[in-house]
Amino acid sequence: MSRSKRHIVVAACAGLLLLAGCSDGSTVDDDVGGAGGAAPTKVSAGYVSAIDQIGLPAGVEAGYFDEQSLDVKLADPYATGVDALNALQAGEVDFVQVGTPAIAAAQKGIDLTLVGNYTGSSTQRSIDETMAVVAGPGAGVDGKDLKTLKGKRIGVSEGSINHLYLLGLLKKAGLEADDVKIVNTEPPDLAVALKTGGIDAAIVWDPFPITAVKQVEGAKEVLRGGGYIPFVGYLVTTREFAEKNPALVERFLTARAQTDQWMRENPDDAADSATRWLPGTDKAVAEKAMKYNVKQLDPRFSACNFLALDTLAGLLAEQGAVKSGFDVNKYFDPAPILKVMDENPDLFKDLPAVPESAALDTDYTFDRTTAAKACPS
């Protein structure tokens, strides 16, 4: 199917089937489907309803999975990464896109494997361009002076990446978590909390900072990104699936790398796709958010990705959200994406080169001290 035709068909499906994929396929049993002119391999995948996760449905819509002879059925978008992981564990999907919730899920016994990135960086430890601080009118929060956070009521989702971003800001300012009042608030409710004065500032990922500024008179985005923490997001499957379907995993990752490059080169078109796959997404908001999102579209793996997850696991452990001693070596499977990187260098030519000291081979074992030297903060 041509890319333009696929675009039309999937868009129609999105409207008629509440964003479920058009195919009625189930999970696969092998990795040889689609070869030699055979029917495409059916595979199922899930994503969270968020702008930084649009790569999966956008890739289906644009036809990149078709090019890899994969017939991808998309689950309805999940509300959270926890919901996505529950679906993976239940065998409802073969792949999901998940960030920090993967740490707690792994510790609870889900035998998950991280095979690629949907957001993050393979050239540095910390990247957080999709995060922002929005201050309410008269809050007195200055992004250039982080000490102004002291004593303020800060809205975050406890245990999530925006909570960790706040901790990164406080550390930079020489403050402790007790120096602010954390108000546990779900992202869709942050604008209301700002408007009613329940919080002085909201910390959250796109598109919520953008919509909060639009919805709350006098609210301002006072800080964007800054490299305070690693913002991570992984393409996740089960270990059993990855071991049984190595060629399929490589094809899936190739399609995602093609999609990511297209999104980096065409952010407005990617934003247009987001309006079809994320219910209620405004085109202007999507376009603004996508300009930040594409800065984190790096599907490659390096020592920096191991270090990023290790860093976040440590921060979560300090807050009691996960157990200490999380071993990232148990969960990364770099072999499939390393093969994609080796066989398709043109898909990554617009990205900064991975530092030689951070480059991986399939036998890589993470060491925190060595990785920290290889990956600038």
pLDDT of res. 26: 43
Map tokens 């499957």 to a residue: 237
> Is there a contact between 211 and 132 (Cβ–Cβ < 8 Å)?
no
- Using alpha carbons, select from 264, 280, 308 the residue that is nearest to residue 100: 308
Count CA atoms closer than 13 A to 278's CA, side-chain side.
25
pLDDT of res. 31: 46
Distances (CA, A) of 347 to 100, 253, 344, 354: 26, 11, 6, 14
**Residue 175, exposed/middle/buried by CB under 10 A (0-12, 13-18, 19+)?**
middle
Q: Is residue 300 helix, strand or coil?
A: coil
pLDDT of res. 377: 82
Dihedral through CA 255, CA 111, CA 321, CA 79, nearest 10? 50
pLDDT of res. 314: 93
Distances (CA, A) of 3 to 58, 60, 67: 11, 9, 9
Q: Which residues of the chain have pLDDT under 70?
A: 1-37
DSSP string, 205-265: ETTHHHHHHHHSTT-EEEEE--SSSB--EEEEEEHHHHHH-HHHHHHHHHHHHHHHHHHHH
Tell me the pTM. Answer: 0.87
Q: What is the spatial distance between Cα 319 and Cα 161, in angstroms, rounded to a whole number?
A: 13
> Is there a contact between 71 and 40 (Cβ–Cβ < 8 Å)?
yes
pLDDT of res. 29: 52
Map tokens 């219910």 to a residue: 279
Mean pLDDT, all residues of the chain? 90
Cα angle value 226/228/232 (rounded, 5°): 100
